[in-house]
Amino acid sequence: MSELRPITALGADAPRRDTIGTVTITEVDDRAIASVASRAGKGKAFEKAAKTLFGIAPPQPGRWDGGADYALIWTGPDQWFAEAPLATHEDIATLIKAGLGDTASVTEQTGGWCAFELSGGAVGAVMERLVPVDAARMQAGHATRSFAEHMGVIVICREAGRRFTLMAPRSFAGSLHHALGAVARSVA
Amino acid sequence: MTQMNRISGGLIDRSKTVNFSFDGARYQGHAGDTLASALLANGVRLMGRSFKYHRPRGPISAGSEEPNALVELRGGARREPNTRATVAELFEGLDATSQNRWPSLGFDLLAVNDMLSPFFAAGFYYKTFMWPKAFWEKLYEPIIRRAAGLGSLSGEVDPDLYDKGFRHCDLLIIGAGPAGLAAALTAGRAGADVILADEDFRMGGRLLAETFSLGDAGGSDWADGVLAELASLPNVRLMTRTTVLGAFDHGIYGALERNADHLPVAPAGKPRQTLWRIYARRALLCAGATERPIAFRNNDRPGIMMAGALRAYANRWAAVPGREAVIFTNNDDGHRTAQDLAAAGLRIAAVVDSRKEAPRSGDYPIHAGAVVIDAVGRKGLHSVDVRRSNGEVSRIPCTTLGVSGGWNPNVHLTCHQRGRPEWDAGLAAFVPGGVLPPGMTVAGAAQGILSTAGALASGAAGAVAALDALGRKAKPADLPRAEDAPVSLTPLWHVPGKGRAWIDPQNDVTVKDVKLAHKEGYVSVEHLKRYTTLGMATDQGKTANVTGLAVMAQVSGKSIPETGTTIFRPPYTPVPIAAFAGRSAGKDFRPVRLTPSHKWAAEQGAVFVEVGMWLRAQWFPRPGETHWRQSVDREVLATRKSVGICDVTTLGKIDVQGTDAAEFLNRVYVNAFGKLAVGKVRYGLMLREDGMAMDDGTTARLAEDHFVMTTTTANAVGVFRHLEFCRQCLWPDMDVQLISTTEAWAQYSVAGPNARKLLQKIVDPGHDISNEAFPYMACGDITVCGGLRARLFRISFSGELAYEIAVPTRYGDGLIRAMVKAGQEFDAVVYGTEALGVMRIEKGHPAGNELNGTTTALNLGMGGMVSKKKDCIGNTLSEREGLNRDDALNLVGFRPVQAGDPLAAGSHFIRKGAEAVAANDEGYLTSVAYSPHLQSMIGLGFLAAGKSRLGEVLRAVNPVEGAETLVEVVSPHFVDPEGERLRV
CA distance B117 to B52: 9
In contact, B306 and B29? CB cutoff 8 Å: no
pLDDT above 70 (res B298)? yes
Whether B737 sits inside 8 A of A37 (CB atoms) is yes
Chain B residues in contact with A170 (beta carbon < 8 A): 743, 809
Instruction: Express each pLDDT in B912-953 by its tens digit.
Output: 999 999 999 999 999 999 999 999 999 999 999 999 999 999
Helix/strand number for chain A, H first, E second: 4, 11
Whether A129 sits inside 8 A of B813 (CB atoms) is no
CB-based contacts of B364: which residues, under 8 Å, 6+ apart?
B338, B342, B348, B349, B350, B351
- What pLDDT does B150 receive? 77
Describe the crossing of helices A43-54 and A92-100 by its angle, rounded to 10 degrees: 130
The total of other beta-carbon atoms located within 10 Å of residue B960's CB is: 9
Pick one of 3.30.70.1520, 3.40.50.720, 3.40.50.2000, 3.40.190.10 as the CATH number of A31-110.
3.30.70.1520
CA-based end-to-end distance of chain B: 97
Strands (E), chain A: 17-20, 23-28, 31-38, 64-66, 71-76, 79-85, 104-108, 113-120, 143-148, 151-159, 163-169
Chain A residues in contact with B735 (beta carbon < 8 A): 39-41
- What pLDDT does B126 receive? 65
Using left for φ > 0, alpha for ψ between -120 and 50, and beta otherwise, residue B134 falls in alpha
Q: Residue B1 — pLDDT band, cuts 50, 70, 90?
A: very low
CB-based contacts of B292: which residues, under 8 Å, 6+ apart?
B306, B405, B406, B407, B408, B543, B544, B546, B547
Instruction: Express each pLDDT in B634-668 by its tens digit.
Output: 999 999 999 999 999 999 999 999 999 999 999 99
Bridge partners of B305, per DSSP, are B402
Whether B810 sits inside 8 A of A91 (CB atoms) is no
In contact, B210 and B219? CB cutoff 8 Å: yes
- What pLDDT does B115 receive? 77
Q: How far is CA A48 from CA A58, A65, A99, A170, B230, in A?
A: 10, 16, 11, 32, 51
Whether B739 sits inside 8 A of A37 (CB atoms) is yes
Q: How far is CA B718 from CA B593, B712, B713, in A?
A: 17, 10, 10
Strands (E), B487-613: 502-504, 509-510, 593-594, 607-611
Instruction: Express each pLDDT in A96-121 by its tens digit.
Output: 999 999 999 999 999 999 999 999 99
A186/B contact by beta carbon, under 8 A: yes
CA distance B660 to B674: 10
Instruction: Express each pLDDT in B439-490 by its tens digit.
Output: 999 999 999 999 999 999 999 999 999 999 999 999 999 999 999 999 999 9
Domain ranges, ordered by start, for chain A: 17-29+112-187, 31-110
CA distance B578 to B273: 9
* DSSP symbol at B487: P
Chain B residues in contact with A137 (beta carbon < 8 A): 168
Q: B614-619 and B593-594 as β-strands: parallel, antiparallel, unpaired?
A: parallel
- What pLDDT does B223 receive? 98
Whether B594 sits inside 8 A of A179 (CB atoms) is no
CA-based end-to-end distance of chain A: 43
Q: Which amino acid is at B6?
A: R
Cut 0.90: pTM above it: yes
Chain A residues in contact with B706 (beta carbon < 8 A): 105
Provide mean pLDDT across the span A153-162: 97
CA distance B142 to B152: 14
- What pLDDT does A159 receive? 97
List strands edge to edge, sheet with B304-306: B304-306, B400-404, B324-329, B347-353, B366-368
The total of other beta-carbon atoms located within 10 Å of residue B691's CB is: 22
Bridge partners of B748, per DSSP, are B647, B805
CA distance B970 to B716: 32
CA distance B20 to B23: 10
Q: How far is CA B770 from CA A122, B765, B774, B775, B799, in A?
A: 59, 12, 6, 7, 18
> b or e along A5-27 (b: 16 or more beta carbons within 10 Å of the residue's beta carbon)?
ebbbbbbeeebbeeebbebbbbb
A126/B contact by beta carbon, under 8 A: no
Alpha helix (H) residue ranges in B318-368? 333-343
Chain B residues in contact with A35 (beta carbon < 8 A): 739
Domains and CATH numbers, chain B: 1-150 (3.10.20.440), 161-289+409-469 (3.50.50.60), 293-405 (3.50.50.60), 492-589 (1.10.10.1100), 593-649+744-839 (3.30.1360.120), 652-740 (3.30.70.1400), 885-983 (2.40.30.110)
Find which of A86, A171, A175 to mutate to test the B interface (most B CBs within 10 Å of its CB): A171
A128/B contact by beta carbon, under 8 A: yes
The total of other beta-carbon atoms located within 10 Å of residue B824's CB is: 9
Provide mean pLDDT across the span B308-318: 98
Whether B810 sits inside 8 A of A6 (CB atoms) is yes
Whether B594 sits inside 8 A of A5 (CB atoms) is no
Residue of A nearest to B659 (CA): A39
pLDDT above 70 (res B125)? no
Alpha-carbon radius of gyration of chain B:
37
Provide mean pLDDT across the span B99-121: 78
What's the angle, vertex CA B458, arms to CA B454 and CA B463, rounded to 5? Answer: 155
Q: Out of A78, A105, A112, whose CB is closest to B657?
A: A105
Chain B residues in contact with A108 (beta carbon < 8 A): 741, 744, 808
Chain A residues in contact with B743 (beta carbon < 8 A): 111-113, 169-171
Q: Give the helix/strand (H/E) hosting B723.
A: helix B716-725
In contact, B386 and B367? CB cutoff 8 Å: yes
Q: What are phi and psi of B646, to 5 degrees?
A: -145, 135
Query: Is the ipTM reported for this complex over the cut 0.95?
Result: yes
The total of other beta-carbon atoms located within 10 Å of residue B470's CB is: 14
Q: Out of A39, A129, A150, whose CB is closest to B591?
A: A150
Chain A residues in contact with B762 (beta carbon < 8 A): none
Residues 146-175 of chain A with CB under 8 A from chain B are 149-151, 169-175
Instruction: Express each pLDDT in A58-82 by its tens digit.
Output: 999 999 999 999 999 999 999 999 9
Percent of chain B with pLDDT over 90: 90
B178: preceding bond cis by omega (within 30 degrees): no
- What pLDDT does B102 receive? 79
Whether A11 sits inside 8 A of B598 (CB atoms) is yes
Domains A17-29+112-187 and A31-110 share a fold: no
- Mean model confidence pLDDT for chain B: 95
CA distance A122 to B719: 39
Pick one of 3.30.1360.120, 3.30.70.260, 3.20.20.140, 3.40.50.720 as the CATH number of A17-29+112-187.
3.30.1360.120
* DSSP symbol at B750: E
Whether B740 sits inside 8 A of A112 (CB atoms) is yes
CA dihedral B444, B447, B451, B455 (to 10 degrees): -20
Instruction: Express each pLDDT in B226-271 by its tens digit.
Output: 999 999 999 999 999 999 999 999 999 999 999 999 999 999 999 9
Instruction: Express each pLDDT in B952-970 by its tens digit.
Output: 999 999 999 999 999 999 9
Chain A residues in contact with B594 (beta carbon < 8 A): 11, 171, 173-174
Count of CA atoms in the C-beta half-sphere (13 A) of B312: 23
Instruction: Express each pLDDT in B718-739 by its tens digit.
Output: 999 999 999 999 999 999 999 9
The residue count for chain A? 188
- What pLDDT does B146 receive? 65
Query: Within its chain, how far is the Cα of B165 from the centroid?
Result: 15
Whether A136 sits inside 8 A of B168 (CB atoms) is yes
